[in-house]
Every structure is written in structure tokens, then in C-alpha cells.
Amino acid sequence: MAHGAPLNGHDVPHTNDRRSDLTGDKRPPSRNNRPDRDRAGGRTGARRPSGKPAGAGTKGPTAPSPDLPRREGDRIAKLLARAGIASRREVERMIAEGRVAIDGEVLDTPATVLTSLKGVTVDGKPVAAPEQARLFCFHKPQGLLTAERDPAGRPTIYTALRNAVPPGVPRLMPVGRLDLNTEGLLLLTNDGELKRALELPSTGVPRTYRARTFGDITQAQLEDLMDGIEIDGVRYGQIDANMERRTGRNQWIELTLTEGKNREVRRVLEHLGLKVSRLLRLAYGPFVLGDLPRGQAAEVPQKDVERLRKSLKADKSA
């Protein structure tokens, strides 16, 4: 995938070329490491007959006996996330809503352990076996929602993706979100586990943005963001912010962060008294926007996807 060129000629300051593979990844060490809770031991959780609402005459998961051998397999939420149904958290919500069944029996717990998705249905539709993880870089234009559909009928990223990805590509899910008026690099994957790992603050995957702003600001004020900042009771972590170019009271500012809270960049800059007139995401982890045309997508080579997986797992266990 091409990389390193400005998006719009003179309108965006030049940035040094960065390769879209993992060899040049300079991610900070992972923080807030948590133990892996994905594996379930013992027996599977209870199921309930199809059609009964959650909690209607059902039992919760049975505690594993210390005398029983460890059950092979993975929790169903993890398997469904891998299959691209939804993120693990969303799958757990779907199970609570009674939308997931095995052989016609509705599940009532995400602790159910399976070795495959044979016989599993979601909303009555069979679930196909997980496909190979695929990852795409998409240049999201302004004016598109990062959502599958909008009640108000506004266009979404999936409107553009119909013509941006090859036919037959499995359902893709966005890694994080970009606001309606934010443009730039958006990663998309069919693998819910990979999506989750890239989004979690604990993995410390950096996101780099460039903002065109109006107002008065100094580099010293921007450097204070390295200590984090609290706005209206919300704590934002370390942000590496640098002035790129200034003309009068207009300036381009580049910011790198690892949390990606909702509207974080805009809120922080507005808190500093700046008006944001344009916001672009230039990079997510080792992947860069480069000269990818607006509204187009490029697939990440499989070797880089596997390298990324290993890197994220190494950070988690560190």
C-alpha cells in the first residue's frame, strides 16, 4: 500500500514516510496489563429451550469441579467474535437478549465453552466457521458515519465500502470510530478478537492525528499534555502533541495518543481554547494513511496481520 504522501497537496503539512508494516512500530510499552480471562475451565454454561426469555426458569453456569479435567475449547463469545459476528462484549449482550442458540436451545450464559460453532445460530441464522483474519486500511472521507446504519438516513462508511473492497470479502467491523466530520485512516477487520485487541487502551496501540486549529496556543502548553488532562471529570491519558506549522493564529498540530476515548482530540483541543476546523487520523499502530485515495481501501498483507497479532499478544503478556 502506498504511504507517506500528503492527502491534499499543500493543504496538509508534509510528514516523513513511515512503512505500513510492523518493523518500524514504536509503540510505547503496554500499560495496565490484565490477566487473560478468555479461557474457561470446567463444564459449559446452562442453556434454555428456544423461545424462553432470559431468566425464565433457567439455571446459571455450574461451577467447575476441581476433580474434572479441563474442558478443551473457547468461550462462545470469543468464538463468535473471531467469526466476525460482533465484538465479544456485543456477543455477550446478544446472549443476554436470547439471540444465540445451539441446536435450537437458547443460551443464557457467555461462559459456554465450545470447540467449534457447529449448530450455533444467531437470530435464527447458522454461523459459518471463522474465516482467516483480514485487515483493511480505509481512507474515510468527511460526512460518513462509522456505523452500519443510521436511523436518520445519513450515509455510513458501508456506503463507500461497497465499491472500496473486493467482492466476497466477509463482514468488516471498524476498529474504533471516527466522528462524522473526522477523516483519515480507519482500520476494518472481520475478526472480533483482533478488533478488540487493537481498541483496548491496555494494549497501548498509538493513534496519530493532525488537526488544523484556530486560536492561541504555545508548544509549552501542548507539552503539558504529556502528563494527561482532566476535562469535566473525564481523565485523558498521555498525549504527545507538537506544533507542526503556524500562520498567524492558525496552526496544524500533530497528536499521538493511546486511549482513543470518544471525541478525545477535539475535546482536548477545544478545552485549550482552540477551534478545530479539520481533523485527520494519519496512523493507527504501525499502519499509516500515506497516499491512499479518499474513499478507497487497501488490504494489509497477511504476513503483517499475523505479525500484528503476535505483537499484541506479546504486549498483553508482558
Active site residue ranges: 179
Q: Which residues, listed in sequence order, are joined to residue 49 by a DSSP beta bridge?
A: 105
Q: Where are the beta strands (DSSP E) in 258-294?
A: 275-284, 287-288
Distance, CA of 211 to CA of 190 (rounded, Å): 30
Query: 85: which 3 cell numbers?
Result: 459476528
Torsion of CA 86, 92, 96, 98, to 10 degrees: 40
Distance, CA of 244 to CA of 246 (rounded, Å): 7
Distance, CA of 304 to CA of 306 (rounded, Å): 5
The number of beta carbons lying within 10 Å of the beta carbon of residue 142 is 15
Long-range contacts of 161-164 (CB under 8 A, 24+ apart): 161/188, 161/297, 164/138, 164/295, 164/296, 164/297
Q: What SS3 class is residue 88? A: helix
